[in-house]
Chain A
Amino acid sequence: MKKQIPIIITFIAGMVMILQYFIPHRPFSDIQQLFNTWYVIIAVFAMILGLGNLLKIHAIRLQRRPKGWWYSIVLLLGFAVMFIAGMGWGIERGSLFDFLFWNTHLPMSSTMFALLAFFVASASYRAFRARTSEATLLLVSAILVMVGRVPLGNYIWDKLPLLGDWIMSYPNMAGQRAIMIGIALGVVSTSLRIILGIERTYLGGK
């Protein structure tokens, strides 16, 4: 009962989505629209679940006070300020919520990822070695693309941008297509296993 009904639900939902591709008329189109609407709403509650979990973890940290517990206060305060700003005064351009987005969320998010530039440079120097013929091929391809795809490449050799574009459009594209087809077949088989109830790990537990 605890697992049988969810498996039946998965089957029905999956089959409706597949059938409406081939029979895009009523009632399948109506059911599809209904399911689409329900999906969007239920997915929000999944987000709320994740949020609830985050707040729960940090609330527990405040109670237990392990090392560095005071940073949880920062997190919860930040959450509270942003949440109240949004729910209290709206999210339009020019609102407090919008101000906090542009001047706190945005710079921190951008800078977190900007750090990666330094680490990729460091990793390139320390770890990128042409140990095998395959690694050499990877390295040569990377260098040709890196130089060919910036304006500097044109000044080194005027054919370099064309070579870079050719590598991207043909051999790279061929490799990416092979990967894409492989992934697609994997997704198809996994989706089929899920819909038919063979794959049940997403249900978890007993």
Chain B
Amino acid sequence: MIETVGTWIAAFLTLCILSFLYKDNPFYKFAEHLFVGISAAYWAVYEYFNVLRPNLIQPLFGEGQFLFIIPLVLGIMMLTRLLARVGWVSRWPLAFIVGTYAGYNLIAYLQSNAVEQVRATLVPFIQVESWQTFFGNPGAITFLTAIAVPVVVVGVITGIIYFFFSKEHTGIFGRSARIGIWFLMIAFGASFGYTVMARISLLIGRVYFLLHDWLHVI
């Protein structure tokens, strides 16, 4: 019984949001505002049960670990941002957050997203085995396999050249940047294709709920 009530509530709210496709209307606005309120409360409750209580309240007040007064005080200082006159006090905890995050990001991005990516690109330009396979068995697939590594190396280098704006894009440098744009366009096209796929999947999920869970027609 309770499940059926829940399903009907879910279906009603789903249709309220979908009604926006016709035009903006009070049902949509009602659902939109309800969503914001419920989401905000969801976050607040989870922050309390999963973070504040086990990581602050329990150690500080339950176990007497008084060092936790420092993050408590810094946290309360953060809240002063709501008050215009003493809002500057929130800079201290904000500085701590920003500094910690910047410190992590500096090394992590450099290691994983720069150095490691360059390392992975430094592979033999001519893959002898792949070309031998192609000449032994010429075909579209064996050809694509043979040129895969050169495509990657050329694509990465020219793509990075394109992003270098400190030098004018003329001559050989400009032509390389142009090739870089082509690779970026292929990447953006692939991203667009996947984005379309993602959005359609989300719609399939909702329609499946309406047809299967609510109307029981599939």
Contacts and interface: CB of A to CB of B under 8 A. Distances in A.
Interface of A: 2-3, 5-7, 9-18, 21, 34-35, 37-49, 51-56, 68, 71-72, 74-83, 86-87, 90-91, 97, 99-118, 120, 124, 134-135, 137-146, 149-150, 159, 162-163, 166-185, 187-188, 190-192, 194-195, 202-205
B169 interface: no
Contacts of A48: 44, 47, 78-79
Given A10-B95, A175-B188, A181-B160, 20 more contacts: A16-B103, A17-B107, A38-B71, A38-B74, A45-B79, A83-B45, A86-B46, A87-B48, A101-B42, A104-B35, A106-B10, A107-B17, A109-B39, A114-B18, A120-B196, A142-B190, A170-B144, A171-B183, A179-B163, A203-B91
B192 interface: yes
A142 B69 CA distance: 54
Closest 3 CB pairs of A and B: A174-B155, A178-B159, A17-B103
Contacts of A91: 45-46, 49
Instruction: Count chain B CB atoms within 10 A of each CB in A80, A171, A205 and give the residue with the most.
Output: A171
Contacts of B93: 42, 45-46
6 contacts: A9-B96, A34-B67, A38-B71, A78-B41, A102-B6, A108-B38
B13 A49 contact: no
Majority-rule SS of A interface residues:
helix
B152 interface: yes
Contact of A41 (B33, B56, B205): B56
Contacts of A178: 155-156, 158-160, 162-163, 180, 183-184
A10 B99 contact: yes
Contacts of A175: 155, 159, 183-188
B128 interface: no
B114 A188 contact: yes
Interface string B153-185: 111101110110000000000000000111111
Contacts of A112: 17, 35
B1 interface: no
Interface of B: 2, 6-7, 9-11, 13-14, 17-18, 20-21, 29-49, 51-52, 55-56, 67-68, 70-72, 74-76, 78-79, 81-82, 87-88, 90-100, 102-107, 109-110, 112-114, 117-118, 120-121, 140-141, 144, 148, 151-156, 158-160, 162-163, 180-197, 199-200, 202-203, 205-206, 209
A143 B72 CA distance: 53
Contacts of A44: 47, 51-52, 56, 75
Contact of A117 (B100, B182, B188, B203): B203
B47 A75 contact: no
Contacts of A137: 182, 185-186, 189
A154 B212 CA distance: 28
Contacts of A114: 18, 199, 202-203, 205-206
Contacts of A17: 99-100, 102-104, 106-107
B45 A181 contact: no
B203 to A, nearest CB: 4
Q: Summarize B's interface: helix, strand, loop or mixed.
A: helix
B109 A188 contact: yes
A115, A181, A182, most chain B CB atoms within 10 A: A181
A14 B6 contact: no
A159 B99 contact: no
A202 B156 contact: no
Given A108-B13, A115-B20, A170-B152, A14 B183 contact: no
